[in-house]
Amino acid sequence: MSVLIKGGRVVTAADTFLADVHVEGERISRVGTSLEADADIVVDATGKLVLPGAIDPHTHLDMPFGGTVTIDDFTSGQTAAVFGGTTCHIDFAIQSRGQTFNEALDVWHGKADGKGVIDYGFHIIVTDLEEGGSLEELATVPDRGVTSYKMLMAYKGVFLVDDETLFEVMRLAARTGALSMIHGENGDVIDVLVKQAVADGNLAPRYHALTRPPELEGEATNRAIQIAHVAGSPLYVVHVTCKDAVHPIAKARRAGWDVWGETCTQYFFVDVTDLDEPDFGGAKYVFSPPVRDKSNQPVLWDAVRTDALSVISTDHCAFLLDGQKTLGKDDFSKIPNGAPGLEERLKMIHHFGVNEGRITLNRMVELLSTNPARLFGLYPRKGTIAPGSDADIVIFDPARKTTLTAATMHGNQDYTLYEGTEVTGDVDTVLIRGTVVVDGGELKVEPGFGRFVKRARFGQHLV
């Protein structure tokens, strides 16, 4: 199958230019002006943007948590993703206590096999080096194309790892060509604050944020940076929310250390006051790290503009408000942490980032596609529009207006954090590996089309 995309405005991280794009099979074969080629499908992209497919390196599909399971599996979550212009994502395979790392990966492959409509990879979450996995086994995980190790410094009694484990895994990452990842919050102190709030009868959703103050995110982020530096490991800090965490990342990057940070769409737009939404509506905004004071939002925009933060992900972790979030109706500490966001990311960042002058189109592509591809071993196969790259292409209408509402989302969520928000810019057509996956508002492939992608070891495609 061949495809010719005519007359669009091609946008990469480095360039913007009018061009045609010719696709042969699964790969881009040519990019140029006035291309003459026979093609099975011709797409008129006049007046539209031709973008590399967005890559989301931070999602949680079909994940058990807090006594329930996220409402989106690999079919519904990836369907939402592709309608939002995301053509590849990296989900987290969680090692349970007593489980080996390979067993954990097998479980997650089982969740995804035959269900995907976009391409995907996995990170491994390390929770247990005593009863289940070992460092020796963890060293073999990159051979399976899983080249990133995540440790959580929060969720005591569930995911929290101590500094010894943090250091040992980071040293291993340095040796095996993996990228260390951390969730930066001081879980021990948070545990004390949560127990105290509950004992005092402070049970409303707002106490989720008040028991996880930004200073504890800043402390844990800085601690992880210093430990990674001693270990000689590259470090990626997930879902940064506040100036307390941005500053140590920016300082490390200025010093030339191999440290990168991401933030998530929601932290630009919702804040701590949303937790007070009446009738338990504040539970929609319970995720970790929590929403912050609104003063942090311009800090985050400046950070993604200046490359203090290098990626915008979603941390898509969707629970129903009615029936799942309500598990914590009488106790904030029992509200499942997480929110949807896969379908909304590109539209929100394009409208409020590009249209409102906070970042350029090229920087948007860098943040949503090229940087994730480089950092996670997918570039140049994915993350750009160039001959030889996978034909993962989003044709985006920058002038079309749309209103974000849960009723029109394609996942299983029953709310969106951006209900009623009007944005200018919408996804028109999506190709993955040269196949039209979305067109005319319809999904054109069946579950099972999406493929697991083995990722290269860290640094092989960092240029």
- Give the per-residue pLDDT at 36: 85
Residue 405 lies inside a defined structural domain of this protein: no
State the residue range of the domain holding 236: 54-375
How far, in Å, CA of 70 to CA of 72, rounded?
Answer: 6
Which has the higher per-residue pLDDT, 450 or 461? Answer: 450
Q: What percent of the chain is predicted at pLDDT more than 90? A: 96
pLDDT tens readout for residues 418-445 = 999 999 999 999 999 999 999 999 999 9
Residue 273 lies inside a defined structural domain of this protein: yes
Q: What is the secondary structure of 409-439 as a DSSP string?
A: -SSS-S--TTTTEEEEEEEEEEEETTEEEEE
Q: Residue 93 sits in a domain of what CATH number?
A: 3.20.20.140
Residue 275 lies inside a defined structural domain of this protein: yes
Identity of residue 187: G
State the Cα angle at 375 between 369 and 378, rounded to 5°.
65
Q: How far is CA 259 from the centre of its chain?
A: 17
Contact 365, 11 (CB under 8 A): yes
Contact 209, 335 (CB under 8 A): no
Task: Tell me the mean pLDDT in the region 112-119.
Answer: 98
* pLDDT at residue 463 greater than cutoff 50: no
Task: Tell me the mean pLDDT in the region 355-372.
Answer: 98
Cα dihedral across residues 387, 116, 56, 183: positive or negative:
negative
pLDDT category at 243 given cuts 50, 70, 90 is: very high
Residue 40 lies inside a defined structural domain of this protein: no
Q: What percent of the chain is predicted at pLDDT more than 70? A: 99
pLDDT tens readout for residues 133-162 = 999 999 999 999 999 999 999 999 889 999
pLDDT tens readout for residues 329-340 = 999 999 999 999
CA–CA distances in Å: residue 364 to residues 353, 382, 419: 8, 16, 23
Task: Tell me the mean pLDDT in the region 194-215.
Answer: 98
* Extended strands (E) in 45-113: 49-52, 54-59, 64-65, 68-69, 86-94
pLDDT tens readout for residues 277-310 = 999 999 999 999 999 999 999 999 999 999 999 9
Residue 111 lies inside a defined structural domain of this protein: yes
Residue 19 lies inside a defined structural domain of this protein: no
pLDDT tens readout for residues 34-63 = 998 889 999 999 999 999 999 999 999 999
* pLDDT at residue 208 greater than cutoff 50: yes
Contact 63, 112 (CB under 8 A): no
- Give the per-residue pLDDT at 290: 98
C-alpha atoms less than 13 angstroms from C-alpha of 227 in its C-beta half-sphere:
26
Tokens found for residue 421: 């928000």
pLDDT tens readout for residues 245-280 = 999 999 999 999 999 999 999 999 999 999 999 999
Residue 444 lies inside a defined structural domain of this protein: no
Contact 288, 186 (CB under 8 A): no
* pLDDT at residue 209 greater than cutoff 90: yes
Residue 251 lies inside a defined structural domain of this protein: yes
CA–CA distances in Å: residue 354 to residues 5, 362, 364, 408: 24, 9, 7, 24
Q: How many domains are there within the chain?
A: 1
CA–CA distances in Å: residue 321 to residues 61, 125, 243, 280: 17, 26, 29, 9
Our separate counts of H helices and E strands in the chain read: 12, 19
CA–CA distances in Å: residue 369 to residues 89, 138, 302, 385: 10, 28, 19, 11
- Give the per-residue pLDDT at 461: 61
* pLDDT at residue 460 greater than cutoff 70: no
